[in-house]
Amino acid sequence: MRPARLRDSLANSLWLIPMLFALGGAGLALITLAIDSATDYDLIPQALTGPPSAAQTMLTTFIGALVTLISIVLTVITVAVQLAMQQFSPRIVRPLLKDRRNQCMVGLFGATLVVSLIVAPQAYGHKTGNGPGLPGLSILTAEVLMLASVIALILYVHQAGQSMRVGGLIDLVGDQTRDMVRATYPEPDSPLADVADEDVIASAEPGAVYGIEYDALVEEARRADVALELVPGMGDFVAGGAPLVRIHGDGGSRLDRKKIRQLVWLGGERSHADDPAYGFRKLVDIAERGLAEPFEDPTTSVMALDRIHDLLRMLVNRDFPDGRYLDDGGELRLSVPVVGWDDYVRLAFTEIRLAGAASPQIPRRIRAAIEDLLEVAPPGRRPPLERQLKLLEAQVEQEYDAEDQIGRANTADRQGIGSPQKSR
């Protein structure tokens, strides 16, 4: 095999880093045993390692626990890869296998196991009276590695949970591809036109906006005597190098641009904090998945619509912020895109209506929600609801031919199909 191909094969292997850790553990155990022997086994007092019987029992327990742990971790990795292949793409396997964090954790478990296996016979020999002394440094090293393995296990559980999220997988592939773009293509001679402007603060890294420190941004703008305009809204994705904040005024040079970037939190995915629209987005996604072939489950979609209806009823008469933030002197210092009532109504109904109009349960449940909201909505909040109702009726007429089918689909029903009939 050519050297270049060999390097690529090793770089994409799952076993290389754990094997190096295991070899390192063997070397570490031999070194510590040599140090114990050179110091007549008196370097570490028994107060730290315990009596010989306790040390032997502890090392034996370590060995059994680590064998089980490594088996479980490798099983979890295999299951995670299989689920990712089924849920997202068969081509997601290679990025998952190249995740160095998982490989290092497995390697640490393997190194701890190897150290325990090499040190245990030495402790056993002392216990039976056949050995020269208790290898205190080696036993202490095994204990430290076991403690590190426990910490790594906790981190691994967190890492496994994060990697199974669709956002985690997308970020994994996206970050690896960004690194490859940097390695393959040279940096441009000049930045993009949008970010070359001195009145624009560009995003250093890609990510979705999941937090904004409004008060701190207002204070920074007041100190520099400028007004800031946040380009993305809460939950929007920002590409690396794309405009993050626009500066209005002549004091842009007095702004700490790095601090401004830190005051707009970017992450792998949106968060519920300060972003109620994300909750609507999740419910809409659940409803759409319930309408997707081949496993259509419109009742699940109706349940999601129940909660969407409840949330819209909470919002129907509440005031929405205008996205304008003033300082103590009444000067406009920060403007931010915000989600309004019209946006929530479109988000709540449009995609579900398009995806589920052919299933009678969906238009009936949507109509029940809209008619209920129209009963309690202030006059200024009614037009978006009335518009959705007209679109629903038009969509139903496109999906059904018979008049009786159209009539039944246009009948409000809180259960889709199955609500008790009102007494006449």
- All structural domains of the chain, each given as residue ranges with its CATH number in brackets, are 9-181 (no CATH), 197-267 (3.90.1170.30), 276-322+340-409 (no CATH)
CA distance 26 to 114: 6
Q: Could you tell me the pLDDT band of residue 134, with boundaries at 50, 70 and 90?
A: confident
Spatial separation of the C-alpha atoms in residues 245 and 227, rounded to whole Å: 10
pLDDT at 424: 37
pTM of the model: 0.71
Which of 287-301, 323-337, 372-386 is predicted with the least confidence, judged by mean pLDDT? 287-301
CA distance 286 to 254: 47
Q: How far from 118 is each of 24, 60, 113, 376, CA to CA, in Å?
A: 13, 11, 9, 75
Taking 3-state DSSP, the helix, strand and coil percentages for the chain, each rounded to the nearest 5, stand at 65, 10, 30
d(CA 400, CA 154): 55
Helices (H), 128-165: 136-163
pLDDT of 309 reads: 95
Q: What span, in angstroms and rounded, lies between the C-alpha atoms of 162 and 166? A: 9
Could you report the per-residue pLDDT of 195-219, keeping only the tens digit for each? 656 789 999 889 999 899 999 999 9
CB 21 within 8 A of CB 110: yes
Which segment of 123-137, 241-255, 264-278, 285-299 scores lowest on mean pLDDT? 123-137
